[in-house]
Structure 1
């Protein structure tokens, strides 16, 4: 197990310095932007009375986890982790919240496998009943639930049945015999006391490929509908089991947990007015085409959420990268420009320009060498749209420092189809090559020794290359580049 980094030592090293005084490459977080992004999500979930589950895989820090769940709130603290190490590291925070009277739960979001059970059992012992949830998407995994319960001293885990709603990464397909077999096995496990079926879960990773404002809201509706189909099958099987054995029944609402940042953040749409009267009918309006305007999407989603509430189902939303955002999220256009723009990207990678190469680009553009390559930025492209010339870079230099006064271009409403400025055109392990994209007459000069900040394509992958975040706060007028904190990451597995 990785040894945690000392926050005190890191603070002693960096706090009070500016971004011009630290070694590079370095991951930088803007606290002002992180707080805005977190608060928007908390406020939207509260307005719509949705259960909220924060994924902490992007940042893997205690500090940002507090912001995601509302540190001073009394609401349930429901988390998702992508590694067991994250779960182990977040245990003290969860114990703190539990001791303050908040309901706690952490979901390990990978289908259960044999070597995971001892560590998950240890976490379950530390946190107590109903605090650990696991994921299952194959009938052969159900046997591990009994192992986990035994190893945790009789504390049965909660379980999400993972459903594939189109991303084809993991999960069972609704309406298939495989899905039915898994439901049967999970209900048998629950009857035996080896687990408790919390609900059904999906991750709409394919929503990253959306390109129209609020298009992702249509995918969110489709997610809820896909999970509703599975949940209704579960409820039918529960009723059958009750007829056969009246002692085996449950009245707990099944949780329908949906999300990915493009879909989850669409609940912030201003037209999702919770004060409007709920539809009187019991069936949702027809699901519009994903390209239909936002008004039709919001009408459908409100109607669907009302329907779920009448069927003993609890809608839950989850997301992870929304606190930091990145170029991939701008490319998805899940929200319109006033609600999603480059000014909300909270993560950047600080780098030094080591060399400049005039006229070296394929069309005679200037290129420059920075000390941030694939290990500092990640090697993950933005998903491409079919047709047209798209953004194929590995990051875009943000307007900051010497480049801010020159007003370098930033991604706008036409991104990724329209893009320009200094972009990371090529990367290798430690090398990044900036290239000017745009007219030669508009090229903003750079120099050897200049320091730049680069917006990454995918914050989750970028963060993995760094042991900590240097935290600045752009609200500190005149001291925007001063480091106010350091947040160590929980890297590893």
Structure 2
């Protein structure tokens, strides 16, 4: 196990320090999760994949905690435990939980979802040897990576499951499905499977990261259909070379994966007929067709338990399933100074002690027809702690937005700006605690060693810390 694995002792020490305290008494900045919202977001995904008979693979890179991983895979369920990590340290830290589920008879499989590189070999081989056959999947997008696959197989004592990573028009990683390079990679993986016996071609995988730029209803669902259609073409190439080869088609980013939560998907004819117009029949026909062809359909996502402003901007789900009230993460900060009249049209600006190291520097991409009109800040203040009247993002977000927002950031400094008329300003005071909804929860959590957990179901004690979840750090 990695040297910097959070110990049980550390968790208990943190609980002794924080549990029972109010957020108003906590030193800032701090990362806060609302357990009530996290649980609902996780259950919605599990229920949707169950209803549609899709396989589910939870990405744990966003939060890097054991506690939230339990919620993502359904701690009390008996279904397979399939997860994704982007760093080896995540795999090493989640190993004890996977062993626990193995002991209870649940099949476990971890996908290391970064195209394989040699320095990861020894640690991944150690991981796989502790869990046994079929416990580790790896990602390849170039034939030369198969040397590392073979080395892990030798080190662990059994073949690896391999996903071929496809570039679904995102341009980050993966091989282009209709390219000569893709054909060569398929040949190489099948040769490693059939001749060398070092791996099994388990599936094809893509991540439509461009879906984060969706801004209209149904755009994410159309992107999901495009993801599956793209992978089906690669699957056809595999079966042309190896007839009948079983394959998992794994797709997802939080917008495309969570669009399956739409209530008309998998609904009865009567329910669908009374629902708002929705292009769900297209994706359901595609699901049925791919299942008839013998493919296993898998969706994966990672940001959905916490959500953030970036996800709110995508309009990926039915409006009843995605509002500001579903965002589970916030960054607790403190007003350090106030600058009357320094803002636009004589509005106030204020300094908080949460800059890009606490909030991240990743913007919500401006997709508006008029550049600069859509939300382009680094966070929005929650209506909390004396700011109950601060405007919240509505159904037209990110085009329509107002109130106190983080308009500028440097390392530790965040500058609050008021979007609206000076007359409507909600006053701030030095020393006031505020909570910021960040743009991207993965980045916002990265510099924190733990999450403070509150539970909004505890009426009258919504701000009381009920648990502390240590995060894993490093690679």
**How many Å separate the matches in 2 of 1:274 and 1:176?**
38
Equivalent of 2:358 in 376, 392, 403: 376
In the TM superposition, 1:393-472 aligns within 5 A as 393-404=377-388, 407-472=389-454
1:296 CA drift (Å): 5.7
Q: Are 1:48 and 2:41 counterparts?
A: no
- Contact 1:214-1:294 within 8 A present in 2 as well: no
In structure 2, the gaps of 5 or more residues are: none
Whole-Å Cα distance in 1 between the matches of residues 40 and 207 of structure 2?
24
CA RMSD of aligned residues (A): 1.4
Superposed displacement of residue 295, structure 1: 4.6
Matched, 1:114 2:118: yes
Question: For the residues of structure 2 that align with 1:92 and 1:270, how far apart are their CA atoms?
Answer: 36
Match of 1:23 among 17, 20, 27: 27
**Does 2:146 align with 1:162?**
no
**Map 1:58-69 → 2, pairs under 5 A:** 58-69=62-73
Question: Conserved in 2, the CA contact under 8 Å of 1:262 and 1:329?
Answer: yes
Does 1:100 find its partner at 2:104?
yes
Work out whether residues 359 and 366 of structure 1, in 8 Å CA contact, stay in contact via their aligned partners in 2: yes
Q: How has the CA–CA distance of structure 1 residues 294 and 94 changed in structure 2, closer, same or farther, with 3 Å as cutoff?
A: farther
List 4+ stretches of structure 1 deviating above 3 A.
274-277, 293-296
Matched position secondary structure for 1:180: helix
1:216 to 220, 225, 230: 220
Alignment of 1:139-218 (within 5 A): 139-152=143-156, 154-191=157-194, 192-218=196-222
| Count of matched residue positions in the alignment of Structure 1 and Structure 2 | 464
Q: Secondary structure at the match of 2:15?
A: helix
Counterparts of 2:200 and 2:99, CA distance in 1: 22
Change in CA separation of 1:446 and 1:57 when aligned onto 2, cut-off 3 Å: same
In the alignment, the residues of structure 2 paired with residue 261 and residue 392 of structure 1 have an alpha-carbon distance, to the nearest angstrom, of 21
Structure 2 Cα separation of the partners of residues 227 and 115 of structure 1: 29
Once the two structures are overlaid, the 10-residue window that deviates more, 3-12 or 450-459, is 3-12
**Conserved 8 A contact 1:48-1:274:** no
Distance 2:163 2:46 in 1: 23
**What is the Cα deviation at residue 214 of structure 1?**
2.1
- Deviation for aligned residue 1:67: 0.3
Q: CA deviation at 1:12?
A: 0.8
TM-score scaled by length of structure 1: 0.92
- CA drift of 1:362 comes to 3.3
Question: In the alignment, does 2:254 pair up with 1:253?
Answer: no
| Structure 1 counterpart of 2:265, from 237, 250, 272 | 272
Q: Deviations over 1:194-243 (max 9, x none)?
A: 0111100000000000001121000000000000000111011113xxxx
**Residue matched to 1:262:** 255
- Pick one of 82, 86, 90 that aligns with 2:90: 86
